[in-house]
A and B are shown apart, each in its own frame.
Chain A
Amino acid sequence: MTQKNRIEGGQIDRDANLKFTFDGQTYHGHAGDTLASALLANGVRLMGRSFKYHRPRGPLTAGSEEPNALVQLRSGARQEPNTRATTAELFDGLTATSQNRLGSLSFDLLAINDRVSNFLTAGFYYKTFMWPKAFWEKVYEPIIRRAAGLGSLSFQDDPDAYDKGFLHCDLLIIGAGPAGLMAALTAARSGADVILADEDFRMGGRLNSETFGIGDDAGADWAAQTVAELTAMPNVRLMARTTIIGAFDHGTYGAVERVSDHIATPMDGKPRQILWRIYTQKTVLAAGAIERPIAFNNNDRPGIMTASALRSYANRFGVAVGHRTGIFTNNDDGHRTAADLYAKGVKVTVIDPRPDAPRSMDYEVLAGAQVTDTMGRLGLTFVQVRLSDGTDRTIECKALGVSGGWNPNVHMTCHQQGRPAWNDALAAFVPDALPVGMIVAGAAKGDLSTAGALVGGATAARAALDLKGRMPKLPQAEDAPVTVTPFWYVEGASRAWLDQQNDVTVKDVKLSHQEGFKSVEHLKRYTTLGMATDQGKTANMGGLAIMAELAGKTIPEVGTTMFRPPYTPVAIGALGGRHRGQDFHPKRLTPTHAWAEEQGAVFVEVGNWMRAQWFPHAGETTWRESVDREVLATRGSVGVCDVTTLGKVDVQGADAAAFLNMIYCNGFAKLPVGKVRYGLMLREDGIAMDDGTAARMAEDHFVVTTTTANALPVYRHMEFVSQCLVPDMDVQLISTTEAWAQYAVAGPNARRVLEKIVDQDISNDAFPFMACGDVTVCGGLRARLFRISFSGELAYELAVPTAYGDALIRRIMEAGAEFDITPYGTEALGVMRMEKGHAAGNELNGTTTAANLGMGRMVSTKKDSIGAVLSRREGLNQSDDLRAVGIKPVDPADKVPAGAHLMAAEGPVDAAHDQGYVTSACYSPNLGHHIALAYLKDGSNRIGETMRLVSPLTGVDVAVEICSAHFIDPEGERLRA
């Protein structure tokens, strides 16, 4: 196909021929084209279908505010739905398909909706589809869901990478039109650090689409020269293809740079897009203005667009959408389009409702006339005009440019709840309340002339940077005064589109008002006006104007809708950045990780840590086999486990003991040096926060351990108490979780193994149960030794500086070889702590009290500690409170799963008769049956009771016996051996 609508001029590279396809048909365009301009050059006006009525649609605009020309860009895993053809940069090999159609784009079966549109008015679905009741999910909704939506996702993982970055500057300038460029030039020449960002791939804004000059140059040339000057300055960062998406607090702006969207696939190692967080002192918003349409019957046909879009296609892209073109305008700017097109040889007729419409050139002007209807099923063929004398005339044309005036682009001024103010001269909203640090310039502020933009840009930059001295001399530019007499819709318009994408018409707004949805918020929600992918940039004003008229109020009295971030829709991939797949969260590896990998360990995620879960041996076919072996070997001889992930906090200072007395509910003041004590921490609300041990290494030095999960919250809490509650206590805290590699060595032969490692005497007399101290290992390496036991065996925890962690595990394995030392993972650790009846995360679930844990008496009444007062509330001390108990199945073959609930042996099974629940469960290889820990109402008085354990969710209903939670060695003889 030929580019039959291509005319001369424009900023395209005619030497660069680019081949592309749309709906399988091959076309050609040029570098510098957008997909929309290239299709229009090829005579293709039909590019999409509307959301509800599936009306045929072509581009309404030439920019990011486009509601209609949305396509699926690319194919396969890179398919990108809802891409605006008006901003998609053409590249060789581009493929696009139309969307939201059933059948072909030109024969969409769902266009039937348009025929029955009278039944599908605003809010019709709230009034029907209610009978029969079951039909909603089964019949109506599936039909609606299939018909709704726009484009399709690929159902494949996005293959491209995304990055995130941070930038800082003195001045961020949003928009590189005349105001933005002049602001950048002014700021940059003063030496300030400047970022100039523009969503377009070519900086210059409207200057690229206009024919008038700046100084002696064409506007587009001036823009190019200015960009060149800025590019050469080291203090300026020019960011084309970069959309500022939102104004956030304290001068933080989000920006998305489209690094690779203009090429077929990203270059090797490059991301598709980058999300920048820009921190700036001041911001100049120079986002320009958006032309607004006028509503008239069937104003949505392909070929009908804003007048400025026609001008852009002609001047910037060298495309005449129609060689016979109508312009429907209520203001002088529309005549600019007429003049530009006429100069390019297009036959133009201007329809201007003003009786005194200006006549400047030789094209036809129908003053006092209005467009009353249009024709053309898949694209405009005729417009019907009511002339000033009341007679009708039909004009043949393929394109119709519509101009109802310009709306300053106030979007970003609203991101921090600011509302714009009404300007009568422009009949538009202009910025009012602004985000702190923002200054608005140029058309975005309502200064619609080029000269106004240049002055505004320079003035804004000077104000932002507080520049002194005289204003520099600015180049000459057009300075036409702009006044607009509002003309929102043609009398009698009904099926006249306001929101083209969502198919909201004048009639819908009137109906909404009739039904009492009179506020802007109600109108928007009831009709969906402004809720489409363009956030109503071209639609909202028309809707407001009609609401105002119906209510007999002015537009500002009716109000304005809020614009919310992002300025234009943002790929979710860009907001996610590199945080996907295995890189979603960082991985924390323990000091034994490499060694455990060598052993073939299976790892498990524990928060961000990766911990060895078990160490399978050859021939073991299930995890249970490995875990049972590890447990039996440890209890039978000796095992070793990496417990580095447990939180460690070093507490030092003269008041360290007093401080721990405050942190733990039980007493620590009298703990002798060289001893460890179990400690229970409460939150201030009296609920257990965490448990662990505190080892007194010296009079003024403790080492506190926490659970893995609570390492950070506990440390934060301790700092809170230290800094905010007892600021004068002499106590210093530091988290040393990562500083020490720590291993539990457990089992009857633990001492024999460690005697070969530790340089000092660790006999039972010299280093009894709950002893601790600084030691050396392997002939002099400093280490810490704690005789504590989670497993219930004779056990030690040995810590060395992390750098020696790998070496130490290998030494321990060597030393233990003669005892068949067995490494064990988190599963065996869990089994052994359950056999011993020790609480862990499942028991300390944020709602348990010391009393629930059977430790009520630990809460000292003799001293102040966090949580003590509120732990005494009546609701936490009731006679039938939950108590930790053990559970064993009556039939040893039965499982007693975690999450199952306890019921009386006889009686109903329901919530009202719930007696408690299982917190943790496992198979005990030592006992030969499953065991569990549970919370049971009044549990300490129910040992020996037979109960019913039910898990209707997983189909469990078994008889169990309540027992002590200490399944193994209840007297603690092994610990002390």
Chain B
Amino acid sequence: MEPHRRTTMDEVLPGGQGFAGTAAQGGNQLNGHKQSALDAAAFRAATERILDAINTVIDGKAEAAKLALTVLLAQGHLLLEDVPGVGKTLLAKTLARTIDCSVSRIQFTPDLLPSDVTGVSIYNQSSRQFEFRPGAVFANIVIGDEINRASAKTQSALLECMEEHQVTVDGKSYKLAEPFMVVATQNPIEMEGTYPLPEAQRDRFMARISMGYPDKDSEIEMLETHQATSPLARVSSVVTSADVAAMIATVQRVYVSQSVKEYTVAVGRATRDSAMLRLGASPRSMLQLLRAAKATSALDGRDFVLPDDVVAVAESVLAHRIILDRKAASTGETPQSVIRGVLAKLPVSQEMTESAHASRQARAAGSPGAPTARPSPELRPSR
């Protein structure tokens, strides 16, 4: 529905002071424990505002919207993969709009250069110095449209930013803004002249969503509401980026019990052991799975993770990282169905009753905090 634009960057590019500011700001924001978290009510109110705003724009895709928000709050990146015209880009843009933060959009094409993404140092005649002109990734939310159209080199430039949350040009590192989220879309149909993301790079995305077609009623409603103007125009930001940072901090404080960790690990091992998979879920994916589960539980109003949360996000988080065995693929299995099968067979360890309970009490007495809830070091911005 978005017209194909040849422009590589059509949205706001933060100016020089913008990138400097965001870089400085970002370091603070991601220090989850310093950031004041929201209480349950405020958190719920904020999430409701965001979801409501998205749902006014995109009809019948509440699940996708929620998952997108989950990924945002879990500090992951989102891959939207579906046929053209089901609202991938619209979802990405709406999500970006609801938050009062910098947004940039990159329309990937085969001739897009890595420096277009990351930025480039150019020689300033007047000052006789090289100045860094930040690329499109210097924004809180980066929408990468049709990421599979870009060359592998450009793709990996983006993917490096996604992982490191920083850009290195000419040996100098520039921090990216926080929160930082890449929402990439990919079109699986039109394969000619594209460079589909290799597995290793898909692994960088926390979750992949297939939008799917809207149901009949939603489609009719969409026809009505979208006739005159794009509803996107009416969306205004409902939360600030500081709010989002606080929400992220809240998610980080969600408690993960030992048994949920064990369950998560068990899920990963089960995919690796599955006869239908050539490649199971990586340890990194386990981490992302757990973070997504934390965000899900926070969205559900809880401050602790249930196995249900893990189950809820497992398909979205894992399906794009695993590779089906050829035999399984030929029998009509899909990654999703395999993951469903794995989950259906995996016991949710619940034998923790009287005996384990005692040790649990002992542990609880010793450490009132929740050491497990700290963000992992690799995500912390380095200075």
> Are A and B interaction partners?
no
Chain A residues proximal to chain B, CB less than 8 Å: none
Task: Report which B residues bind A (CB closer than 8 A).
Answer: none
